[in-house]
Amino acid sequence: MRLLVTGASGLLGTVAVLDRATSDEVVALHRAPFHVQGVTSEAVDLTDADAVARIFEAARPEVVLHTAAVASIDACERDPELAERVNVHVTGTVARLAAAGGSRLVHVSTDAVFDGTGGPYREDDEPHPLSVYARTKLDSERVALHAHPDALVARVNFFGWSRSGTRSLAEFFRNALVRGEPVTGFADVEFASLYHRDLADALLDASAAGVTGVRHVVSSDRSSKYDFGRAVARTFGLDESLVRPGRLEDLGGAPRSRRLSLDSSGFAAELGRRMPTLDEGLARMRQDGEAGLAGRIRATEQLEADA
């Protein structure tokens, strides 16, 4: 399979590239330094539509996994124009090029398109975004499907090992607990989160199976962020008592939704397999870490000459 991944240096993009590097012909689009043996890496400003078009023409991808985004809620509030350019306009460019080239498109969206007053949310529930980030991601869904009606648009929440070691919620809790520091988890925020390798596998398998439209792709269970932190402690053999309950209003900053659990049962039925639970995802994260995945992810920051 010829696979093109945008946002290849991000939390999801990196592990998707690593997992497919030996089985598929992969082109990785990125901004930060990025190298994986056997993968064609292209440093590109995705807001440069002409440059992106030249890459698509040369790569002729069969599948496009579009993970690139401004994903920080607070960064989007500070610079809504940047959020609009990257989250919406770039998605439109990628979707149009994928459609024109006959590529299958997987566009990664977010659970944050909902306001958190209900849930678990199904795909036919009406979104109500609270923040600039959430609004631009909802707009990106509409742009993607308008340009590429057969796209798979996945609303997700995920965790895992990152290049910096600090990008995911699981790393946030684990890092503090390893240092023996108390850490706060919001007891009033509910979500369903999937290990990033499980997410990448599910998205690409679903695309191959012909799943299209808006789908919720998360774990089969849900938890508060406080309970998530305690689960991280149990999984990694750390002190669970260091995880303290907190409240979302203590955080400040951009508006955030409280109850963001999604119902992934429809997607699981289409895919023909059960989505993993949170505990299963954390267990796989620990196993992968012990097997060296965290180091392999960090090593993608090396330039080719140093690799």
Q: What are phi and psi of 152, to 5 degrees?
A: -100, 120
Nearest alpha carbon to residue 173 among 110, 114, 105, 226: 226
pLDDT in tens, 118-140: 879 999 999 999 999 999 999 99
pLDDT in tens, 221-278: 999 999 999 999 999 999 999 999 998 877 777 778 888 899 999 999 999 999 999 9
Q: What are phi and psi of 189, to 5 degrees?
A: -115, 120
Q: Which tokens is 21 given?
A: 């590097």
Identify the DSSP state of 116: S
Rounded Cα–Cα distance for residues 1 and 238 (Å): 41
Active site residues: 133
Rounded Cα–Cα distance for residues 216 and 206 (Å): 12
Q: What is the mean pLDDT of residues 20-25?
A: 93
Placement of tokens 């508006």 in the chain? 255
With both helix axes pointing from N to C terminus, report the angle between 225-235 and 278-290 in degrees, rounded to the nearest 10. Answer: 40
Q: What is the mean pLDDT of residues 55-61?
A: 97
Q: What is the mean pLDDT of residues 39-60?
A: 96
- DSSP secondary structure letters along 157-168: -EE---SSS-SS
pLDDT for the residue 305: 42
pLDDT in tens, 135-178: 999 999 999 999 999 999 999 999 999 999 998 999 999 999 99
Detail the DSSP E strand segments found in the chain. Answer: 2-6, 25-30, 40-43, 63-66, 104-110, 152-156, 158-159, 183-186, 190-191, 194-195, 213-217, 223-224, 243-246, 259-260
129 cis-preceded (ω within 30 degrees of 0): no
HEC sequence for 230-296: HHHHHHCCCCHHHEEEECHHHCCCCCCCCEECECCHHHHHHHCCCCCCHHHHHHHHHHHHHCCHHHH
% of the chain residues with pLDDT over 70: 98
Q: Is the pLDDT of residue 306 over 90?
A: no
Rounded Cα–Cα distance for residues 5 and 13 (Å): 7
Beta partners for 159? 195
Dihedral of CA 58/62/66/67: which sign? Answer: negative
Placement of tokens 């796209």 in the chain? 151
3-state secondary structure of 30: strand
Q: Which amino acid is at 168?
A: S
Torsion over CA of 29, 33, 37 and 40, rounded to 10 degrees? Answer: 30
pLDDT in tens, 174-216: 999 999 999 999 999 999 999 999 999 999 999 999 999 999 9
Rounded Cα–Cα distance for residues 18 and 22 (Å): 8
pLDDT for the residue 303: 54
Q: Can you list the domains of the chain with their CATH numbers?
A: 2-306 (3.40.50.720)
